[in-house]
Amino acid sequence: MTRKNLIAAALLLALAAGGAWWYAHPGAASAAAGGDEAGGASVLVQTVKISMQPMPLTMNVFGDIAAGKVESESLPQAGQVTRMAVVPGQAVHRGDLLAVLSSDPNALAAYEQASSALEFARHELKRQQDLLALQLATQSQVDGAGKAVADAKAVLAAQTRLNGAHGSVDLTSQADGVVVAIPVAQGDRVAAGATIVQVGRTDALKVLLAVEPAQVAELKPGMKLTLVPLQEGAPAVTSSIASIQNMVDPKTQMAGAIALLPAAAQARMPVGTHLQGLIELGSRPAWPAPRQAVLVDDQGAYLFQVANGRARRVAVRKLVETERTIGVEGALDAALPVVVLGNYELKDGDVVRGSTP
């Protein structure tokens, strides 16, 4: 037999021996194939344990700081506005000049008439007293003249309060505040008691909160509220709901609530500051799952738990959301860990590998 034939015969014997071993050990071959298949289908995940616990219910709102009680500043006499000393939005203090009003000519004439009437009444009283001394007048006539003097004094005092004695009068602010509106213009003639300037008091600022109409029923006066200005780095302040406005604004289509701004925060939060608020509605039991553990598809929210090395999909409903967790309810098993990493690749029933940190 040639060398070439010997090599061929050896190869045939080796193949025959390998086939005989494969035929004699089918389980080992199946196990190897199954192991490759299982290794390829498993998904590396990370899991955590969660448990049912009370979670705070909150509501996110936005709002603006507004002045407190709005007061209308006016004068008791008619006249013409000769000077406006403020503009809308300007901060004012008690006693600051708001406007100058020139007196109405009729008021000046009425004051002169009242002054003249008082002088005449005094002369008449003196005359009656002199006649009484000469027994040419009665005590009743003197008393009548005295009453005329008192009446003339009262009329003059009223005309003085109406500023008939001066050509102009200054309108000053009665409290610290901010000018909300000026319904008149310089040069306008105004009637007695007409509003010239509206000042919103700043000794008790309020926060106007915009609330979704469907959520108004969840609010109650006294609920705690955390307020944060939208400026970066601004500190938060705490307050509470003072009142609820169950009425939809036709412009914003939002209902409203009012909170009072703490006095300590008024200096750094002027009128008009935009705020974000978080209202504490209470608490309720929920499963606090990490945010990345809860997924959503066309069937709704869900997460995966691991049972016997396989992923089990569990449908859930979101109840509470915080910065890091989502409180959910559903048929979860407290003994099974929840998948937090690798869940985007999972399907119900997939083989998983990994551990709980």
Is the CATH code 2.40.30.170 the one for domain 60-68+204-282? yes
pTM: 0.53
For the cut 90, the answer to whether the pLDDT of residue 345 exceeds it is no
As to burial, measured by CB atoms within 10 angstroms (0-12 exposed, 13-18 middle, 19+ buried), residue 35 is: exposed
Is the CATH code 2.40.160.20 the one for domain 70-201? no
pLDDT on residue 189: 87
d(CA 49, CA 356) in angstroms, rounded, equals: 8
322-337 residue pLDDT tens = 878 999 999 999 999 9
Amino acid symbol at 156: L
pLDDT bucket at 142, cuts 50 / 70 / 90: confident
User: How big is the chain by its Cα radius of gyration, in Å?
Assistant: 44
Q: Looking at residues 20-31, what average pLDDT do you find? A: 39
52-62 residue pLDDT tens = 999 888 888 99
Comparison of pLDDT for 243 and 152, the residue scoring more: 243
What CATH number is given for 43-56+284-355 in this structure?
Answer: 2.40.420.20
- CA nearest to 198, candidates 64, 72, 67, 39: 72
d(CA 134, CA 128) in angstroms, rounded, equals: 10
Mean pLDDT of the chain: 81
Scanning the structure block, which residue is given the tokens 């396989």? 310
φ, ψ for residue 71 (rounded to 5)? Answer: -115, 140
Q: Do domains 43-56+284-355 and 70-201 have the same CATH topology?
A: no
Is the torsion defined by CA of 153, 158, 159, 163 positive or negative?
Answer: positive
d(CA 205, CA 228) in angstroms, rounded, equals: 15
Taking the domains of the chain in order of start, what are their residue ranges? 43-56+284-355, 60-68+204-282, 70-201
